[in-house]
Structure 1
């Protein structure tokens, strides 16, 4: 009976004897604890925090540097005291928009630098979600520090007191301010985009598991799997001897069958063909010899 094949099944599908990745654990194997203790959670979280904390702290320090650069590079907005009022020297000037643009450009530059540094710092371990989280939180907080510290370093926001201090007809600079608060997202967004691009291009690659039909793997002396083991050659199975009773040209004992001699003692010669409707010569004597042989037996 031939092999029975399950309907609608592929010949490449794994058999029922192969282990399933969703199979229950074997006897004696411990199940993972669904509710780990706080100590186990902290032991699992502490290595991640040791990686993310330096990234977050570096972003805070760079936020102070960004504040100083913003205060230094942002264009000033000049004001003039005219009697009891304070007027813009250049009413159609774009100094206020220039301050926001300078903050955005600085955020993009700091995002690029921090993402590159974080990728090089965590390239050996393979990065992870903690690197992206540290860059996002650190970039956002660093931008806030740069905004607050830059405003504090700039001129005072009390325009009336400043106008009385400089006097009538004199000019002074308006307080530094960030009008577009969306510029705070320039640093974290740029850091995430650059980190994703670096990880996709130069990140650590994990070795793909071999397919289930490739056979067992051979571990090298260094530890990781180097190559697949070649399939074992099939053993030469000796062919079973055929049944001597059914083999052609042999009897039950295995000896070759010898045709019986002719009744006249001569060798049997092939009968010559004769025309249809006539019997070959000597057929009657052959039949009589066969009958006498049966009677003798």
Structure 2
């Protein structure tokens, strides 16, 4: 009579011997997700600073627009007591150049402000983008109104009387295409988003529980 065969022992299970320990009080707890950056209060404060700085920079845009824009020549004629003011060069393109100069300068200011905001805070964020757009729009309006205020008087009849009949004088600054006011915020947001997409920090991919990091994976 043969002895009964002993069944093989069950596989060793370490799950029953695993001990889950709670970290001591005060010890930092590792998070499974990366930090989301500064809090909303900090982001709102930074956005307010950017809005203010970009808006104030509109004064420089207004001065450059006043300095670089082509002058529109006017001439005054008098018939009896009635003054008539007309363009000296009716076929000139100076009026178009006024809008074009403002648009080009606003695009340049937008590109610089978008680059500066990215270099200051590379993580970006919705408040920062909103601040660039709002500040660019307010800066454009400030530049427009400042250029008109510092430029030649808008009372062309009084100006014609002051300089005399047949004397050429400059027309007041006028922004014919109000869409140029959107050039600054458009360029600022576009440049900032492009730089953030290309060179901004990347969030690490979520790691599955129990998965070991691949040492050969490229760092983000």
Q: TM-score range by the shorter chain?
A: 0.7 to 0.9
Instruction: Quote how far apart the aligned CAs of 1:148 are.
Output: 0.3
In structure 1, the residue corresponding to 2:71 is in which secondary structure? coil
Q: Give the number of the structure with larger relative contact order, counting CA–CA contacts within 8 Å between residues 6 or more apart.
A: 2
User: RMSD over aligned Cα, in angstroms?
Assistant: 1.7
Larger relative helix fraction = 2
* Structure 2 equivalent of residue 169 of structure 1: 166
1:142 correspondence with 2:139:
yes
Out of 93-102 and 203-212, give the one that drifted further: 203-212
- The TM-score normalised by the length of structure 1 is 0.56
Alignment gaps of 5+ in structure 2: 1-38, 216-220
* Structure 1 equivalent of residue 200 of structure 2: 203
Q: Kindly provide the CA deviation profile for residues 229-250 of structure 1, in whole angstroms up to 9, marking residues without a partner as x.
A: 9xxxxxxxxxxxxxxxxxxxxx
**Equivalents in 1 of 2:191, 2:104: separation in Å?**
15
* Structure 2 equivalent of residue 87 of structure 1: 86
Poorly superposed stretches of 4+, deviation over 2 Å: none
1:193 correspondence with 2:212:
no
Structure showing greater Rg:
1
Instruction: Quote how far apart the aligned CAs of 1:228 are.
Output: 5.7
Number of residue equivalences: 174
- From 68, 76, 79, the equivalent of 1:73 is 68
* Structure 2 equivalent of residue 46 of structure 1: 41
Alignment gaps of 5+ in structure 1: 1-43, 218-226, 230-297
Matches within 5 A, 1:1-297: 45-83=40-78, 84-123=83-122, 126-211=123-208, 215-217=210-212, 227=213
